[in-house]
Amino acid sequence: MVGDSRKVTIATIARLAGVSVPTVSRVINGRSDVAPQTRERVEELLTRHGYRRRPPSMRASSGLVDLVFPDLDSPWAVEIIRGVEDVAHAAGIGTVISAIHRRTSSAKQWLDNMRTRSTEGVIFVTSTLEPPLQAELRRLNIPVVIVDPAGVPPQEAPTIGATNWAGSLRATEYLIGLGHRRIGFIAGLPQLMCSRARLDGYRAALESAGIAVDEKLIYPGNFYHEAGFAGGTQLLGLPEPPTAIFASSDQMALGVYEAVRRRGLRVPDDVSVVGFDDLPEVRWCSPPLTTVRQPLAEMGMLAARTVLRLSQGEKIESPRVELATELVLRDSATAPRT
């Protein structure tokens, strides 16, 4: 039965078709970037419910993807932005970048702003999706992809990450292979799954080598320079300090560099240091930092491709993807002094 076009909305058609509002908008606007089966399903529903299309002069397309961070004060955010922007630009899509500062009020403000415009989908980075936010995005049929989720992500949301456990295991094994037995570890934020995986990889490497895990050598950090400096200062002040420190972010590793310098010591002559991320600047520090490369730009690119595929009504074969990490050897780690 043909419905009253005044009673049907694009959101209704999207819900019935199981696609996003932007996808229905693209079908209505005659855009080509919609899967044929999805277009056919949407067109059939538009006809069945008697949706009255606006004249071409009145149509507007979305052409936007939202990229949401908890904060924008870290250089690794720039790498993810670069990856997302590369894919979005190639697809003729703009990128709206927001920071919600881990506050409920900011998340609500972002959601209110998003409702005023159409979006192809949302990429959340190191974020926790609270149930009310999940429910509203689901109601709006807006595709969601999460990069490095905090906590357990919604079952229907694809996630993009890196092999954090394997990368941490490899870095710790490398230090053990150099002859280090007292290896300090500066952890990231405990609520992030990537932080817990890196700590677990460190523990697994020690246990596999028959080295007891000394909890005094583990410092609770937060990925920032200040935590690396504080952790390095505390670890180097122990009665029996570590001969190597593995910081679970490059920023914290650079903080460790400063802690080493202030104690009148040198990297790697007195203390070996390894980081995690492989940010562009660490190859220029002195000495250049040995670190675990996390493919941040590639993670952003894959997240953008995934959210655009979802917005076109495509199914995602692998909802949980981890890109490979790689140990990059430079000059900040060597065998301990005997």
Q: What is the pLDDT of residues 226-283, one digit of tens each?
A: 999 999 999 999 999 999 999 999 999 999 999 999 999 999 999 999 999 999 999 9
Nearest-10 crossing angle of helices 10-17, 36-48: 130
Q: 255: part of which helix (H) or strand (E)?
A: helix 250-262
Instruction: Return the ∠ at Cα 236 (arms to 233 and 237), rounded to 5°.
Output: 80
Pairing of strands 122-125, 290-293: unpaired
**Residue 123, SS3 per DSSP:** strand
Q: For residue 82, what pLDDT is reported?
A: 95
Q: Any idea of the CA torsion for 215, 220, 221, 226, to the nearest 10 degrees?
A: -90
Tell me the C-alpha distance between 252 and 246, whole Å.
9
Confidence of residue 1 (pLDDT cuts 50, 70, 90): very low
> Taking a C-beta distance cutoff of 8 angstroms, is the pair 149, 52 a contact?
no
Nearest to 179 by CA among 239, 242, 108, 130: 242
Q: For residue 10, what pLDDT is reported?
A: 78
The DSSP output letter for 150 is B
> Taking a C-beta distance cutoff of 8 angstroms, is the pair 285, 126 a contact?
no
Q: Read off the pLDDT of residues 109-119 as tens digits, 9 standing for 90 and up.
A: 888 888 777 78
Q: For residue 2, what pLDDT is reported?
A: 42
